[in-house]
Amino acid sequence: MPEYLKEGWRPAAAASPEIVETVSRILLDVEREGLAAIRRYSARFDGWEPDSFIVGPEQVQQARRLVDDELAAHIDFAVRQVTEFARRQRDSLTDLEVRPLPGVVLGHRHLPVGSVGSYIPGGRYPLIASAIMTVAVPKAAGVERVVAVAPPRDGKGVFPPQLHTMALCGADVVVCLGGVQALAALAFGIEGVPAVDMIVGAGNAYVAETKRQLFGRVGIDLIAGPTEVAVIADESAEPRVVAADLLGQAEHGPDSPALLVTTSRAFGEAVLREVERWLETTWPTADVAGKAWRDHGTVIVCATPEEAVEVMDGYAPEHLEVQTADPDWYFERLRNYGSLFLGPHATVAYSDKAIGTNHVLPTRGAARYTGGLWVGKFLKTVTYQRVTPEGSRLVAPATAAIADAELMHGHALTARLRIDS
């Protein structure tokens, strides 16, 4: 049986009734009143009342001037990495056409969604990388129109590095709005900008609940959060590095779970000591990461690697690092994770910011049945058929017989008509 040296990981609770009611009220008001409601809620929640919420080209140019050239070069590197990986993924998805019977042609095509709304968080951390993940990737998929939204920061509009990145990634429209009202603007339209077909991007509990309530009116990527990190490690790993990786992701918020599964009790105890050493000395965000670790940190000792795999697949974490003597052994056996990081030099931070894989990933066990955001999320796989009279003679009898057995005699009639004609 697994041994718990520390237990704290708990699935995130569903949105509170207060959050559900607040989101519902804002969405209803925006649907009924349009821009007037958006202005009211923007003023109330963000103190933001511009003449227009649409960001103009002169503001984009000003943002670029405010971004340090060295940072701009690093952002450009990350954009190229994410875009190139997305393009390679897109190239792997090919259209299909087959002829299973004489006179019958079946096929599928991968068609991009028409328009996407990208929500880029700007609360505790104004996330530059989120603009890359949710604007550059749909553009690589061939989406014609991407509307990027981000909240105002310090009453001065979109955080300049975020705004520069949105423009660099190819956003067609940028809107300065935050929270529920921002997603409502994407779903219902704002200032002549039409409603989008799909909304993507991470956010707080209000953003997640808004996406849940809007699903159906628009498509969504997934309902994610709080972020999660998990590590499988053995004696070959460095306890100080593992401890840092656990705290690194925990800095997202005080409710972010962090999990270590190890096959060595001594190693687990060493990591616990290193976590405390980091928090007591030099960890830069100890106020947030420390609370997350205290309340949601977990360390489990497993008797065998097989048990470690079973335990970790049960958690199905968002991010999963494997720091063991033979990471490929785990690579072949693990099944439930959002993104996998193999070996001591692979870290969640690389994926979160610049390496090329996407950081919008499933949480709360959703990795059991879905992957994260990628170029394929922005494509619709649609099917088609072409049929000749010869093909009808082959397919119509089975179609009509099945339809009659289901008492759907109209369906049967449409099949037999094609034989008769």
Active site residues: 318-319
Q: What distance in Å separates the CA atoms of residue 11 and residue 364, rounded to the nearest whole number?
A: 6
Q: What distance in Å separates the CA atoms of residue 115 and residue 413, rounded to the nearest whole number?
A: 39
Contacts 24+ apart (CB under 8 A), 390-397: 390/102, 390/103, 391/101, 391/102, 391/103, 391/104, 392/103, 392/418, 392/419, 393/103, 393/419, 394/101, 394/102, 394/103, 394/104, 395/101, 395/104
Q: Do 9 and 293 form a contact (C-beta atoms < 8 A)?
A: no
Q: Pick from 286, 306, 242, 291: which is nearest to 268 by CA?
A: 242
Q: How many helices (H) and strands (E) does the chain have?
A: 17, 14
Sign of the dihedral through C-alpha 275, 280, 284, 288: positive
DSSP 377: G
Q: Pick from 190, 184, 179, 188: which is nearest to 55 by CA?
A: 190
Q: Pick from 298, 304, 238: which is nearest to 274 by CA?
A: 238
Report the 3 state secondary structure along 114-164: CEEEEECCCCCCCCHHHHHHHHHHHHHHCCCEEEEEECCCCCCCCCHHHHH
Q: Do 107 and 374 form a contact (C-beta atoms < 8 A)?
A: no
Q: What distance in Å separates the CA atoms of residue 324 and residue 309, rounded to the nearest whole number?
A: 13
Contacts 24+ apart (CB under 8 A), 41-46: 41/179, 41/180, 41/181, 42/177, 42/178, 42/181, 45/178, 45/179, 45/181, 46/151, 46/152, 46/177, 46/178, 46/179
